[in-house]
A and B are shown apart, each in its own frame.
Chain A
Amino acid sequence: MTDSSQKSLDELLAGLPRDLAPPRELWPRIAARLAPLPRRSRPILLAAAAAIVGACIAGALTWSVLRGRQAPDAPQLAMVAPRFDEPRDARYVAARDSLESTFRERLALLDPGTRAKIEASLAVIRQAHEDIRNALGADPASPVLEQLWQSTWHDELDLYEHVVQATQSPFTRT
Chain B
Amino acid sequence: MDGAAEPTDVVVAAAGGDLHAFEQLYRQFSPRIYGLCLRLTGQREAAEDCTQESFVAAWRALHGFEQRSRFSTWLHRIAVRTVLARRRGLRVEYEVGEPHAGLPEVADPAGDGMPHDLERAIAALPDGARDVLVLVGIYGFSHAEAAAALGTAEGTCKAQLHRARGLLAAALGMVER
Contact = CB atoms under 8 A, between A and B. Distances in A.
Asked if A pairs with B, the answer is yes
A49 to B, nearest CB: 20
15 contacts: A1-B174, A5-B174, A8-B110, A8-B174, A10-B137, A16-B138, A18-B32, A18-B35, A18-B36, A19-B35, A21-B30, A27-B30, A29-B52, A89-B89, A141-B60
Contacts of A26: 30, 34, 48, 51-52, 55
Given A9-B169, A31-B23, A16 B176 contact: no
Interface string B110-147: 10000000110000000000000100011110000000
Contacts of A17: 35, 104
The B interface, classified by DSSP as helix, strand, loop or mixed, is helix
B169 A5 contact: yes
B44 A30 contact: no
B155 interface: no
Given A16-B119, A37-B17, A38-B63, A21 B48 contact: no
Interface string A10-37: 1111111111111110110111011011
Interface string B48-92: 110110011001111110000000000000000000000001100
Nearest to A21: B31
Interface of A: 1-2, 5-6, 8-24, 26-27, 29-31, 33-34, 36-38, 83, 86, 88-89, 91, 140-141
B51 A11 contact: no
A2 B61 CA distance: 45
B53 to A, nearest CB: 9
B48 A18 contact: no
Given A5-B169, A31-B23, A11 B109 contact: yes
Interface of B: 15-17, 19, 22-23, 26-27, 30-32, 34-36, 38, 44, 47-49, 51-52, 55-56, 59-64, 89-90, 102-104, 106, 109-110, 118-119, 133, 137-140, 165-166, 168-169, 172, 174-176
Interface of A is mostly: loop
Nearest to B17: A37
Count chain B CB atoms within 10 A of each CB in A1, A8, A13, A33 and give the residue with the most: A13
Contact of B106 (A1, A15, A19): A15
Contact of B63 (A6, A29, A37): A37
Nearest to A82: B89
Contacts of B140: 14
